Amino acid sequence: MRQRLIGAAVLVPVVVILFVAGPPWLTLGIALLAAAAAYEIALLIKSAGLPANRWLVVAAPLLVAAAVAFGYGPNAAIVSAGFFVPAAGAWVILTAIDAFRRPDARDGFLGWAGHSWVASTPAC
């Protein structure tokens, strides 16, 4: 409980400062918090017995945050889609490569499922 209070005492002022600063700092702060949450989810996936690559799990919310960051301005939808679609495709290919390089097909499938689950969660 003490550790949570210390964490809250440190993070609450940071979050307030990010909200006051506004974009792009708010977007960057949300991206970092989402990446930290994804890292924690990756640890939970590993503790559940699923083989997940932590860095691929952390990449998913960062890609989404980057697409949101590019989503400002007159051509926002085009720029955001022009970035997000290729980045999401690259992420899917990287997770497939990670799954295929595992010697056991079951481990590969479970690892790919773990990566896909993280990318589809609303928290990310």
- Phi, psi (rounded to 5 degrees) for 48: -80, -5
Read off the tokens for 34. Answer: 């989402």
pLDDT at 23: 76
- How far are the Cα atoms of 56, 87, 115, 120 from residue 30, in angstroms, in the given order? 18, 19, 20, 17
Residue 102 falls in which region: left (phi positive, over 0), alpha (psi -120 to 50) or beta: beta
pTM of model > 0.75? no
> How many alpha carbons lie under 13 Å from residue 122 in its C-beta half-sphere?
0
pLDDT per residue as tens digits for the range 73-90: 666 666 667 777 787 788
What mean pLDDT do residues 42-70 have? 78
pLDDT per residue as tens digits for the range 8-43: 888 888 888 888 988 778 888 888 888 888 888 888
Read off the tokens for 14. Answer: 């940071």
